[in-house]
Amino acid sequence: MVDQLASILPATFGVTGLLYLWLAARVQSKSGETANHAIALFLFLVGAMILGSALTYNTQDLTLYSIGRVLSLAGGGFVPVAVYYVYRDYTFGPPTRAFLAMLCAIPVATTLMALTNPLHEILWSVNGVPGGLQFTDARQHGWFRFVHAPFAYGLFTYSIIALTARLRDIATAHRRNVLLFMLAAVMPLAVSFGNTILRLGPYDFPFTSITLTALLPFYWYLCLGLRVYDFSPLTYHTLLNHLHDPIIVLNKSQRILAVNSAAQTLLERPERELIGRHLWNDVPEAQVLREHAASTDLSQTVRMQRDQFYEIYTSRLIGPNGSEQGILLACRDVTKRKLAQKALADSEHLIRSLVENSSNGILRFALENDDETNEIVRFRCTFANRAAEKFLRTDGVTLVGMPLDKIELLDPSRLLDRFMGSSATNSRVNYETSIELEESECWLRVVGEPVGEDISVTLIDITARKRNENKILRDSLRDPLTGVLNRRGFEKEGIDSISRTTRGAVLYLDLNQFKTINDRFGHQAGDALLKAFGHRLEYCLRPEDLLARLGGDEFSIILPDVDIEDVKHVATRLVETGSEPYIIQGQEITCTASVGIALIPQHGDTLWELVSVADRAMYNVKSMSQSASNDCAAYVDAAIAS
């Protein structure tokens, strides 16, 4: 039997240790930022301990034995630290790094001693015996017996007992998982303690590793089934500290049992100075609460020091058997709300004054119901400020009491469609309307929105904005130098003009040798020449014709609703007029013009298609521009695109 175990256990421990390591890696990979990573560390250390047993059990190889003892001692030393971390994380929160470093001092020392044991044999020694090697019992050595073992078993036991004592602070939903984890940790602890300290059974037999091997399915279920590593609970005490409202718990004698962080701030004392004190007699800051705690399940607003206002809620604490356990006081800071209410009351007159003297017209309409059918009959004005009376020109007749459908300047149909009838909704309506005044036109933005069952209407004078928008729009469509349409304006109006005509033409013109003139006489002279050229072109056109400067010295013209003879006549006049001498800065400048003609619809039916055809036609007859002054009609005929 012993021989069979000697051959089976090392392999079994090796597979089990590797499975524990794989499980630790799986837990670590699945753990989120807030998960309990100490569980993965615990599993890793358990796996290391079992692998240590696989290497040390029944071996005569000194190297394998040394490696196994290092793994077993390191794992056994750090496992209690991992369990302590789990306990703290489940209750008070993780310990500080400094405290963890202090706890790790003995396991680190043990690991270093194990690594260097051949030099000093503090943890074990090797004796040669007939048939092989004999390794001494670790319990025979002082460091293990007086330092390592008391630390490991003491910290492990303390962590389990402390976690048991804090179970009631853990949420009920998580308590079962914690109990199962404790059970899985206590069983190998008890086996190891009985074998190592109580000397039950031979020390060199791996009782603890066998127990951990048997518990592998249970740990598997805890981690991958119950996902115990995802549990990083907060204690009830911690939850109370996360509340912004001060909480004070009193016993039946009205002495303080607990206070959260907010209550400590309110009472200006730490919890250790408040626990056990009689709230009313020993804490002067709470005297104002005394009369309000006489009745239970009560809400009152009281004024504390520093001009703070709190709503005090008092409630009896009833135990499982129905007996009264004490009183809970919850204090909600309502200072901002009280100050806001006071400010609102102080500003009521100001608000009324602002509404009455506002430059915006403000009206309110209340609905009238039919007494028999209870259906909405109409909306009637119940309030109108001075600006509304001015905008709607009631001529001395007040708007108050007037039905909405009678105030025609509001375009009331839009408001009634939105707020009255079968299709009525509670959404806001926003539209613009114009009012003809004696001296000019006035634009108003009308904003209507529901206020309970009534509707509020605001009138905003947007006349200045409308005028500015129109001016900006006009300016954005005009060439600032010549005053004719620019490319954007030409596209906007040209597309519409071409879509409305069945015949006509698009002309493309430019000035010959403009660059030479610009270089010779300067840019100011060139700009003056372009302005003069644009004015001459405008002079030759009808009001319905469109003229635009596309860029540089290039111009384009749309002639809607004309036949080809009229097109030739206009083109001839444009070329002749544009080629006449100019007087620029006191100098006579001669600059001829070239033209290309695209006919509608022969050469296209879209604006830029026709412009492109006319542009090509102009460049095709550029060589004739010199003779155009002699035979302009022939030049114009040639300028028509083929």
Pair (334, 419) in one structural domain:
no
Q: What is the CATH classification number for the domain harbouring 53?
A: 1.20.1070.10
Map tokens 């009472």 to a residue. 267
Residue spans of the chain under pLDDT 70: 1-6, 31-36, 92, 131, 169-173, 230-240, 279-307, 319-323, 370-377, 394-396, 421-424, 437-440, 624-630
Picking from 533, 614, 615, the residue whose alpha carbon sits closest to that of residue 575 is: 533
Domain with 593 in it: 477-639
Amino acid at 517: I
8-state DSSP, 159: H
Full DSSP string of 53-72:
HHHHTT---HHHHHHHHHHH
Instruction: Write down which residue in 303, 322, 339 finishes a domain.
Output: 339
- pLDDT of amino acid 34: 46
235 domain-assigned: no
149 part of a folded domain: yes
pLDDT digits (tens, 9 = 90+) for 11-61: 898 899 899 999 888 888 876 554 557 888 888 999 989 998 888 888 888
| Domain C-terminal end among 422, 438, 465 | 465
- Tell me, yes or no, whether 61 and 186 share the same domain: yes
Domain co-membership, 576 together with 507: yes
Residue 162 and residue 54 share a domain: yes
Backbone region of residue 546 per phi and psi (left: phi > 0; alpha: psi in -120 to 50; beta: other values):
beta
Structure tokens at 594: 């070239």
Q: Does 142 lie in the same domain as 181?
A: yes
Q: CA–CA separation, 542 vs 592, rounded Å?
A: 22
- Find, among 308, 357, 302, 351, the residue nearest to 329 by Cα: 302
| Whole-number pLDDT of residue 304 | 53
The rounded distance, in Å, linking the Cα atoms of 281 and 118 is 69
**Are residues 109 and 216 both part of a single domain?**
yes
- The three state secondary structure string of 249-273 is EEECCCEEEEECHHHHHHHCCCHHH
CATH number of the domain where residue 282 is located: 3.30.450.20
Tell me whether residue 163 is exposed, middle or buried, using C-beta atoms within 10 angstroms of its C-beta: 0 to 12, 13 to 18, 19 or more.
buried
Contacts of 100 by beta carbon, 8 Å cutoff, 6+ apart: 81, 85
Which among 506, 635, 642, 501 has a CA at the least distance from the CA of 579?
Answer: 635
For the stretch 456-493, what's the b/e string if a residue is b when 16 or more beta carbons lie within 10 angstroms of its beta carbon? bbbbbbbeeebeeeeeeeeeebbbeebebbbbebbbeb
Same domain, yes or no, for 446 and 538?
Answer: no
Q: How many CA atoms lie within 13 A of 32 on its CB side?
A: 6
Q: Is residue 472 part of a domain?
A: no
Q: What angle do CA 485, 490, 494 make, to 5 degrees?
A: 135
Alpha carbon dihedral 630, 634, 639, 641, in 10-degree steps, equals -170
Q: Select from 84, 13, 14, 105 the least CA-distant residue to 42.
A: 84
Tell whether 187 and 41 lie within a shared domain: yes
Domain boundary among 339, 369, 384: 339
Q: How many helices (H) and strands (E) does the chain have?
A: 26, 18
Confidence (pLDDT) at 290: 53
Residue 13 lies in a domain: yes
Name the domain count of the chain: 4
| DSSP conformation letters of 489-520 | HHHHHHHHHHHT-SSEEEEEEEETTHHHHHHH
Structure tokens at 434: 């114009």
DSSP state, residue 478 = B
Structure tokens at 205: 């037999």
Asked whether residue 47 falls in the same domain as residue 90, the answer is yes
Tell whether 396 is covered by a domain: yes
How does DSSP assign 31-51, residue by residue?
A: --TTS-HHHHHHHHHHHHHHH
Instruction: Indicate whether 331 belongs to any domain.
Output: yes
Residue 45 lies in a domain: yes
In a domain, 585, yes or no: yes
pLDDT at 228: 76
* Cα 572 versus chain centre, distance: 67
Q: What is the pLDDT of residue 295?
A: 45
Same domain? 488 vs 634? yes
Is 262:304 a contact under the CB 8 Å cutoff? no
Is 522 found in the same domain as 425? no
Query: Helices 172-196 & 207-214, crossing angle to 10 degrees?
Result: 150
Contact 533, 511 (CB under 8 A): yes
Residue 356 has φ and ψ, to the nearest 5°, of -65, -35
Q: To the nearest whole number, what is the mean pLDDT of the chain?
A: 81
Structure tokens belonging to residue 282: 């020993």
Closest of 126, 150, 164, 153 to residue 208, by C-alpha: 153
- CATH code for the domain of 627: 3.30.70.270
**604 & 502 share domain:** yes
Rounded Cα gap, residues 488 and 492, in angstroms: 6
